[in-house]
Amino acid sequence: MIQIEIDQHSGFCFGVVYAIEMAEDRLKETGTLYCLGDIVHNDKEVERLQNLGLKIISHAELKDLKDTTVLIRAHGEPPETYKIALENNLELIDASCPVVLKLQNRVRQAHDDDRQIVILGKKGHAEVNGLVGQTHQEAVVISSVEELEELDIDGPVSLYSQTTKSTTLLYNIRQKMEEKFDDFKFNDTICRQVSNREPELQKFSSKHDTIIFVSGKKSSNGKALNGTCKRINPDTHFISDVDELDLNWLMGKKSVGICGATSTPMWLMEKVADFIDQEINQQSLVLS
């Protein structure tokens, strides 16, 4: 028998919960709803909502859409999106995360005060695109200390971060920027509901022989938190669904911990746990 535990701190953050609840409520009423980009970076959850009537559209498709309703996901959007919606008579269900909206306002204000904005984040990420949009595309996006060293900018500089980035990396970059720029302002804009998961996952990973980390491959947060688990427990395996699980990983192990990203639905982690229980524990009972 193998002990199976799901990390109760894993799963959707409140911003994702809010967006999905808004989508489900409208789908119950109308049976169809457009969503600008994947509502969450998890293919299985997107597939579940598509089966309920959610239609994922791109920004290019938004420009041709008129007289209907569109959901803005938790990642937030740049001002251009709201302008298009107004011109095309689109009703927006705005599920932008309050933490992201507050960050957008701070970035816009700093830019209006003629400060050069530097954003620690992933280029092209939906949240980062929304932040850069607050600066008329003038913000600089970096993802590492190495990219910071290559920056050639003058004047007053303000640093912000994508809400799901590593706290350790942010503070390393802060230290480097304090040395590099005379007029520098630092803003810790990482979501604490996300950053607090790192120490929780460190504890969780140390408790078990093997860790199964469940996340969509598009999730930046998933990649970061999987790395957190792997540093504590090298016997950590990343999967997106149960069909990627190799039972050989669990042979001879006494315990397995199942955890995930802020974009991983609890039902998917439970599906993995049930599969392990069925294939290992229940089969062992039958054979004995």
Q: What three-state secondary structure class fits 213?
A: strand
- How many angstroms separate the Cα of 48 from the Cα of each of 53, 77, 127, 131, 258? 9, 24, 23, 29, 21
* Fold that domain 14-96 belongs to in CATH: Rossmann fold (3.40.50)
CB-CB neighbours of 154 under 10 Å: 9
- How many angstroms separate the Cα of 21 from the Cα of each of 18, 30, 54? 5, 14, 12
Pinpoint the residues of the chain covered by CATH 3.40.1010.20.
3-11+194-287, 99-190
pLDDT at position 284 is: 61
Q: What three-state secondary structure class fits 150?
A: coil
The residue type of 251 is M
CB-CB neighbours of 64 under 10 Å: 9
pLDDT at position 168 is: 87
Q: Which of 77, 127, 149, 270 is catalytic?
A: 127
pLDDT at position 285 is: 53
The DSSP H or E segment spanning 227 is helix 220-232
Q: Is 198 a catalytic residue?
A: no
pLDDT at position 288 is: 44
Query: What string of pLDDT tens digits covers the 288 residues of the chain?
Result: 899 999 999 999 899 999 999 999 999 999 999 999 999 989 999 999 999 999 999 999 999 999 999 999 999 999 999 999 999 999 999 999 999 999 999 999 999 999 999 999 999 999 999 999 999 999 999 999 999 988 888 889 999 999 988 888 999 999 999 999 999 999 999 998 888 888 999 999 999 999 999 999 988 789 889 999 999 999 999 999 999 999 999 999 999 999 999 999 999 999 999 999 999 887 765 444
**Cα gap 246→209, rounded to integer Å:** 15
pLDDT at position 144 is: 93
Residue 203 exposed, middle or buried by CB count within 10 Å (0-12, 13-18, 19+): exposed
Pinpoint the residues of the chain covered by CATH 3.40.50.11270.
14-96
Q: Given the DSSP bridges, would you call strands 255-260 and 236-239 parallel, antiparallel or unpaired? A: unpaired
> What CATH number was assigned to the domain covering residues 3-11+194-287?
3.40.1010.20
* Fold that domain 99-190 belongs to in CATH: Cobalt-precorrin-4 Transmethylase; domain 1 (3.40.1010)
